[in-house]
Structure 1
């Protein structure tokens, strides 16, 4: 399998100078992660790691990034259960409800989608896939994480005369 991996990897993929990428990747891998971070900070953490994964072509770097992404997804599990802080409620609030400004293409809830992303990351960390399979699975992971981030950052609240209401209609006191 290792020989196939080397044969199927086009030489054009390895065009960047590793010394240019390495310091940025090392800094990213050292980025602090904590359950005290807010929802948007954890989502940004996960996005930065998946973005770097797309451009990473060395096995060791990818495994390190998968590990950090998985850690971020585990922190996200905790953060999703915590109440939203006031500054995020403000960012998730609109003055006027617009019809279908954002529509999640999947019918699953955020926690299930997070679990899917974590499962794919764990699968990739096992390293049992061919190069092509890893590319497809990491692409799927990228897409699912993007859907999750868009869904969680989409407006949830609308201002009404009595305060705030869920965009679905329920008034919040």
Structure 2
């Protein structure tokens, strides 16, 4: 199976189009992500990237996941500034008679926590840390993203007789 005037032999055991990236990760990397997605969708996809990043054993997968996570965090920054759609406001709203479900927010705001995640991803992408340090940073990044996701998805509003109010008590005329 050699080409004319060539000393290279094509080995039938080696497939010509062998993928460098495994199936599940390749599928994950193909998920389109943009500001047309809602806040919950974007943060969920970012969590999936970070989760797979912890398990990645292949350098190409690792770098691809870091890059996609970085892009996802950029989208998350943009989506955090957009008004919440009505269906998400509904998911984030409790009835006044459910005080046990009230939310305690993070000590930092969502934008700052997103910046922390972005910075940690940049450290991983730059490949300047040792392998052990990269593992710890990837795990910290996943935990931070999980905490951010839990905070973003936690109830924020209470339905009162006067309309919606923040869980802290102030009535809000319009929700951003």
TM-score after normalising by structure 2: 0.82
2:50 counterpart residue number: 50
How far residue 65 of structure 1 moved from its aligned partner, in angstroms, is: 0.3
Q: What is residue 132 of structure 1 aligned with on the other side?
A: 132
> Do the aligned partners of residues 152 and 51 (structure 1) sit closer, same or farther apart at CA in structure 2, a change above 3 Å counting?
same
Q: Is 2:77 aligned against 1:59?
A: no
Q: Give ranges in structure 2 of 5+ residues lacking alignment.
A: 1-18
Q: Secondary structure at the match of 1:165?
A: strand
Once residues 132 and 171 of structure 1 are traced to their aligned partners in structure 2, the CA distance between those partners, rounded to angstroms, is 48
Q: Distance in 1 between matches of 2:161 and 2:172?
A: 11
Residue in 2 that maps onto 1:98: 99
1:103 Cα offset (Å): 2.9
Count of paired positions: 153
SS for the counterpart of 1:169 is coil
CA distance in 2, matches of 1:128, 1:59: 14
Residues 102 and 167, structure 2, Cα contact 8 Å, conserved in 1: no
**Cα shift readout 1:121-167 (whole Å, capped 9, x = no counterpart):** 01100011111010111111111111111111110101101221111
> Counterparts in 2 of 1:78-157, with a 5 A limit?
78-96=78-96, 97-99=98-100, 101-104=102-105, 106-157=106-157
Is 1:171 matched up with 2:171? yes
Query: Aligned-pair distance for 1:99?
Result: 4.9
Name 1:27's counterpart in structure 2: 27
The TM-score, its normalising length taken from structure 1, stands at 0.83
Q: Distance in 1 between matches of 2:55 and 2:67?
A: 16
Deviation of the 1:73 alpha carbon: 0.5
Q: Structure 1 residues 101, 157: CA separation in 2 closer, same or farther (over 3 Å shift)? A: closer
Structure showing the higher helix proportion among its residues: 1
